A and B are shown apart, each in its own frame.
Chain A
């Protein structure tokens, strides 16, 4: 049963998970981000609540322009929410003093999408990875910095580390560069890593080994992950024991444990995404049931439709509630869902 009377302000996941959840290390409470634009305000993120816990992964999936990256930037403190708050260990990051902020900056690390753009081309691997160590005086001298850096490179499978310390980005492959970016993030002993499409530019073969490297950090070091991807297969694999939140036009429309969301999607948008995947299996590809959308075009953020944002494309659209009332994200028996039609049934 779904309680539609009271939209939860900061909904926690339904308690069907094994064992008690540890307290969240990072939480987003009703964050909004509105960008001023020539044709009016652009509500890139419109009220998102998320919690990231140690040693678990939360995957944020959705199409480009749905607000995934803006949400990630707010979570990392790289963009200030227009309204709402980001709490690190329960403390609002907007209210932090310099010292607290410095701790937050080290504890929450961001890995960018493009390893070709995120590394300084004139710095060696050693220089890039050790910059934070030296800046925050986490090492006593150059010798120690080199030793610690070598250890970090081994952690991300750049072995033997000696071969990589003095290399420049152009001397490495995309996968190796992305590992350098991860090592740089790891140098700060982060509690949370925010990875924004960090594997999407890599070949499939390299993608898996990079995901495995990140998975080890999650499982062995207890790092919490906010993992942004448009690839459902990657989300499923990386967050199988965690959660997936599906975003559409700045809002979360479905959020639950990964196996539930991927294997039994409820929101028509999630169903469309799951059914759209090209599976590496020719028989399945020919027999798989596909959700047909009513329109291929995503509405403009400056001119959102009344009611549910998805209704102009939704195959389950029913006149009445769908085109007049925006469905709130409410708690069902095994997930959070924002849909008038599915929620009713």
Chain B
């Protein structure tokens, strides 16, 4: 089986191409706050991309926005979300009508929401969730219950759950890890090309996390879907992602291959995030603390949003906002980009590591 990371020539172009997307929330009749600013990235078939950053950086908003799952006061006032559909055509998700959107969701792109308990309806059995999903999103003649039950059982087996026990259970009868796996099985029900996962392992125990991480990688090999997953766990990103995008204050401030991001971070924020995680292997490494928190979205500082917390900031950083700039493009077309006025200078000084 070929590795999607080293297979550029067979690649017919990106599955998902996000171009200059803004996402805002209406806060009053005339007022709105912009939570995501001008985000652009490409995701190729079979690739997995992690969106990392602290809470409140716009990761979840972006994930929801990609599938138009924002709350009622959310809107996407600018940009394009181009998706290559199963029939080969390209659609802008932003302009899909309600009926088209219903057919698109789940069968082409599905979401695994944060907090598996809340994603299930507590009064419905797991089987009913599958039944509802198939009936709501499948086109053509509705299938018989028994047929759907059989297919649901197969999906649960894929995530190593015992269908006999799980199908007839209510969500509260399952452990957190079982619920999370059931949720992944449900998301995969209609064979989507893209899976968006919001904090898929947060709040789960270590061994349960491990089981889910391994199953997800295996399923990705088997079913060849692409993933965007949102996490604040850099270890998870290091393990599951081909590419990483760092978000800060609603902007994508660095993107690159996972090895570029972890071994040659070019934005001081990415470097600081990585340095704040103490490793378990080896001797004691004293992590660096990153004081303060991301700015409020309604009161972004002028210039670089990270400048007030950045130990490399100069006066210019507080005045001019850096654009995401490609620093280096690899032979296979994957590039490393960072939005930092001083990124080349800092790399040359060895201030960000190499």
Are the C-beta atoms of A263 and B282 separated by less than 8 Å? yes
Of B33-41, B190-198, B284-292, B336-344, which stretch is located at the interface? B284-292
Is A236 part of the contact surface with B, judged by Cβ < 8 Å? yes
Segment with Cβ contacts to B, from A11-19, A80-88, A140-148, A279-287: A279-287
Chain A 226-282 interface residues, beta-carbon cutoff 8 Å to B: 230, 232-234, 236-237, 240, 259, 262-263, 272-282
In the complex the two chains form, is B205's CB within 8 Å of A230's CB? yes
Is B151 in the interface zone, CB < 8 Å from A?
no
Interfacial residues of chain B within 245-299, with CB under 8 A of chain A in the complex: 258-259, 262-263, 272-274, 276-284, 286-291, 293
Report if A114 contacts B (CB, 8 A).
Answer: no
A:155-174 near B, CB below 8 Å: 173
Which residues of B sit under 8 angstroms from A105, Cβ to Cβ?
Answer: none
CB distance from B58 to the nearest CB of A (A): 14
Which residues of chain B from 283 to 334 have any CB-CB distance to chain A below 8 Å in the complex? 283-284, 286-291, 293
* Least distance between B292 CB and chain A CB atoms (Å): 8
Residues of chain A contacted by B175 (CB below 8 angstroms) = 298
Q: Count residues of chain A with CB under 8 A from any CB of chain B.
A: 42
Contact (A204, B234) CB under 8 Å given A230-B205, A296-B208: yes
Q: How far is the CB of A151 from chain B (nearest CB, A)?
A: 20
Residue-wise, chain A 285-314 has the 8 Å CB interface mask toward B (1 for contact) of: 110101001001010000000000000000
Q: Determine whether the beta carbon of A206 is less than 8 Å from that of B293.
A: yes
Does B68 touch A at the CB level, under 8 Å? no
- Decide if A233 touches B206 in the complex (CB within 8 Å): no
B207 x A278 contact (CB < 8 A): no
Chain B residues within 8 Å of A281, by CB: 238, 262, 279
Q: In the complex, A111→B117 CA distance in Å?
A: 26
Query: When the two chains form their complex, are residues A233 and B177 in contact, meaning their CB atoms are under 8 A apart?
Result: no
CB of A234 within 8 A of CB of B258, answer no
Contact B238 A278 (CB under 8 A): yes
Answer yes or no: B221 CB below 8 A from chain A CBs: no
CB interface residues, B 45-59, toward A, < 8 Å? 54-55
- Closest residue of chain B to A296, judged by CB? B211
In the complex, what's the smallest C-beta–C-beta distance from B79 to chain A, in angstroms? 27
* Closest residue of A by beta carbon distance from B241: A282
Which residue in chain A gives the minimum CB-CB distance to B231? Answer: A278
Instruction: Find out whether the CB atom of A282 lies under 8 angstroms from the CB atom of B259.
Output: yes
Are A232 and B206 in contact, with the CB atoms below 8 A? yes
Among A37-45, A180-188, A207-215, A326-334, the stretch that binds chain B is A207-215
A102 adjacent to chain B (CB < 8 Å): no
- The reply to whether A282 and B239 contact each other, CB–CB distance below 8 Å, is yes
Min CB gap A66→B, angstroms = 9
Across the interface, do A236 and B280 meet the contact criterion of CB distance under 8 Å?
yes
Give chain B nearest CB distance to A303 CB in angstroms: 15
Report whether A237 and B287 are in contact in the complex, using a CB–CB cutoff of 8 Å: yes
Measured CB to CB, the nearest residue on chain B to A286 is: B239
Does A323 make an interface contact (CB < 8 A)? Answer: no
Report B172 CB to chain A, min CB distance, Å.
Answer: 15
Q: Scan residues 105-163 of chain A and give those whose CB is less than 8 A from a CB of chain B.
A: none
- In the assembled complex, the Cα of A298 lies from the Cα of B211 at a distance in Å of 13
> In the complex, A280→B287 CA distance in Å?
12
CA A280 to CA B50, docked complex, whole Å: 13
Nearest Cβ in chain A — how far from B65, in angstroms? Answer: 22
Contact A204 B273 (CB under 8 A): yes
CB pair A208 B289 closer than 8 Å: yes
Partner of A277, one of B214, B235, B276, B290: B235
Chain B interface residue count: which class? Answer: 35 or more
Q: Which residues of B are found within 8 Å of A296, using beta-carbon distances? A: 160, 177, 207-208, 211
User: How many Å lie between the Cα of A218 and that of B213 in the bound state?
Assistant: 36
Q: Which residues of A contact B211 (CB under 8 A)?
A: 296
> Are A293 and B207 CB-contacts (below 8 A) given A204-B234, A277-B280, A282-B238?
yes
Instruction: Please state if B206 and A273 are interface contacts (CB–CB under 8 Å).
Output: yes
The residues of B that contact A63 with a CB separation of less than 8 Å are 205-208
- Decide if A232 touches B238 in the complex (CB within 8 Å): no
If A63-B207, A205-B54, A279-B238 touch, does A274 touch B280 (CB 8 Å cutoff)? Answer: yes
Closest Cβ–Cβ distance, residue A219 to chain B (whole Å): 14
Contacts of A205 in B (CB 8 A): 54, 272-273, 276, 289-290, 293
Interface membership of chain B positions 204-247, coded 1 if the CB is closer than 8 angstroms to chain A and 0 otherwise: 01111111011000000000000000001111111100000000
Q: Which residue in chain A gives the minimum CB-CB distance to B205? A: A63
B-chain residues with CB within 8 Å of residue A273 when the two chains form the complex: 206-207
Q: Which residue on chain A has the smallest CB distance to residue B207?
A: A276
Query: Given A64-B205, A233-B278: A280 and B55 within 8 A (CB)?
Result: no
Question: Contacts of B274 on A, CB cut-off 8 Å?
Answer: 280
A203 at interface (Cβ–Cβ under 8 A)? Answer: yes
Q: Kindly identify which residue among B54, B210, B279, B290 contacts A280, using a CB–CB cutoff of 8 Å.
A: B279
- Is A278 a contact partner of B209 (Cβ separation < 8 A)? yes
With A64-B205, A280-B262, A296-B177 as contacts: A204 and B281 at CB distance below 8 Å: no
**Residue A175 is within 8 A (CB to CB) of chain B in the complex:** yes
What would 9 more interface pairs be, CB under 8 Å, given A205-B273, A280-B238, A290-B214? A175-B293, A205-B54, A209-B291, A233-B278, A234-B278, A263-B282, A280-B237, A282-B263, A293-B207
**Shortest 4 CB-CB contacts between residues of A and residues of B:** A278-B235, A205-B290, A276-B210, A209-B289
14 contacts between A and B (CB under 8 A): A175-B293, A208-B278, A208-B289, A208-B290, A209-B291, A212-B289, A236-B280, A240-B284, A275-B210, A277-B235, A279-B279, A281-B279, A285-B235, A286-B239
Give the interface of A toward B (CB within 8 A): 63-64, 173, 175, 203-209, 212, 230, 232-234, 236-237, 240, 259, 262-263, 272-286, 288, 290, 293, 296, 298
